[in-house]
Amino acid sequence: MTIASSPVYLDSSALVKLLIPEAGSDALEAALRGRTDLIVSDLAITEVASIVGRRVRERAMSGDDARRIYRALMGQIADGRLRREELTSEGHRDAENLLIAPGHGVALRAADALHLAMALRCGARAVVTYDRRMAEAAAALGPFEVSP
């Protein structure tokens, strides 16, 4: 996988692969190694917390592991490896406009619209997602390179 464009917006499906080893994690880590232009939103952070919380409830992960993963994520934000974009009321209005825009023919989910609005607001030129519907929406609605 190669990501040429800059900056790069990571949705929660990509962000979780950087935090929890799973299929595709190694390739994503290699593609992003050394980059200083990675952006995540408040939404992605909350969705990752939801993912690890669900894994704890399902007994697929310990509470200690969940807290370690969350601390690692917040540490990457604090040390600048990831740039955090706040989800503002303006971001919500942008997402709502994407949801009701006539003629684009994309069936957007609310969370996808929020991710795309954030990517557009922060000037991302690439969107990394492992969600097929999100990838299709990003390709249709934004001036983005979409990976993987």
* 109-128 confidence digits (pLDDT tens): 999 999 999 999 999 999 99
User: Per-residue pLDDT tens for 42-68?
Assistant: 999 999 999 999 999 999 999 999 999
Predicted TM-score (pTM) of the model is 0.93
Distance of CA 84 to the CA centre of its chain: 11
Within 79-123, residue ranges assigned H as helices are 89-100, 110-121
CB atoms within 10 A of CB 23: 8
What angle is formed at CA 33 by the lines to CA 27 and CA 35, rounded to 5 degrees?
130
Residue 122: predicted pLDDT = 94
* Structure tokens given for 22: 């799973």
Distance of CA 76 to the CA centre of its chain: 14
Which domains does the chain carry? 8-147 (3.40.50.1010)
Residue 26: predicted pLDDT = 95
Residue 143: predicted pLDDT = 86
3-state SS assignment for residue 8: strand
Lowest mean pLDDT, pick from 4-18, 82-96, 133-147: 133-147
Residue 34: predicted pLDDT = 92
b/e per residue, 50-68, with b = 16+ CB within 10 A?
A: ebbeebeeeeebeeeebee
pLDDT for 142 beyond 80: no
